[in-house]
Amino acid sequence: MAPNRKKRARSLESHDSDTELRRHSEKRVKKHAQKVKRRGKKRRSDDSDSDSSESDSDSSGTESDVDEEFKAAARAITRCVDMFCNVEKVIQVVMYIGQEEASRSGELEEDEVDRTRRKKFLNELSSQTTERYKRGYDMLLHLAPSLKELISNASKKQELKKVTQAMNSVIKLTRSDDCSRLRDKIGHYAAPNPAEAALSPPIYIGGTSRSHMGLNHPVLARFLCPISTLVEFDNDPERTRQKLLSGKITMPSDIYPVFSWSGDPPADDFQEEDIYEGLFKGYLLERVSA
68-77, 85-94, 148-157, 206-215: which range is least confident on average? 206-215
64-68, 130-134, 239-243: which range is least confident on average? 64-68
User: What pLDDT band is residue 27 in, cutting at 50, 70 and 90?
Assistant: low
Conformation bin of residue 86: beta by default, left when phi > 0, alpha when psi is -120 to 50: beta
Whole-angstrom Cα distance, residue 264 to residue 271?
A: 14
Highest mean predicted confidence (pLDDT) among 90-99, 101-110, 182-191, 208-217: 90-99
Q: Give the pLDDT confidence score for residue 252 in this predicted structure.
A: 85
Whole-angstrom Cα distance, residue 168 to residue 29?
A: 18
Taking each helix axis from N to C end, the angle separating 68-80 and 127-143, rounded to the nearest 10 degrees, works out to 140
Q: Inform me whether the pLDDT recorded for 169 exceeds 90.
A: yes
3-state secondary structure of 116: helix
Q: Give the pLDDT confidence score for residue 84 in this predicted structure.
A: 87
Q: Inform me whether the pLDDT recorded for 35 exceeds 80.
A: no
Count Cβ atoms below 10 Å from residue 77 Cβ, excluding itself: 26
Q: Give the pLDDT confidence score for residue 14 in this predicted structure.
A: 44
User: What pLDDT band is residue 30 in, cutting at 50, 70 and 90?
Assistant: low
Q: Give the pLDDT confidence score for residue 152 in this predicted structure.
A: 93
User: Which whole-number Å values give the CA distances from 43 to 36, 48, 279, in the listed order?
Assistant: 11, 9, 38
Q: Give the pLDDT confidence score for residue 222 in this predicted structure.
A: 95
Please tell me which residue, 198 or 47, carries the higher pLDDT value. Answer: 198
User: What pLDDT band is residue 58 in, cutting at 50, 70 and 90?
Assistant: very low
Q: If 0-12 CB within 10 Å is exposed, 13-18 middle and 19+ buried, where does residue 13 land? A: middle
Over range 240-260, report the average pLDDT: 91
Q: What is the mean pLDDT of the chain?
A: 80
Over range 190-218, report the average pLDDT: 81
Q: Give the pLDDT confidence score for residue 187 in this predicted structure.
A: 81
Whole-angstrom Cα distance, residue 241 to residue 217?
A: 9
Q: Give the pLDDT confidence score for residue 50 in this predicted structure.
A: 44
3-state secondary structure of 128: helix
Highest mean predicted confidence (pLDDT) among 10-14, 179-183, 223-227, 253-257: 223-227
Q: Give the pLDDT confidence score for residue 270 in this predicted structure.
A: 83
User: What pLDDT band is residue 3 in, cutting at 50, 70 and 90?
Assistant: very low
Provide the residue ranges of all domains of the chain, joining segments of one domain with +: 18-182, 186-289
Whole-angstrom Cα distance, residue 128 to residue 13?
A: 7
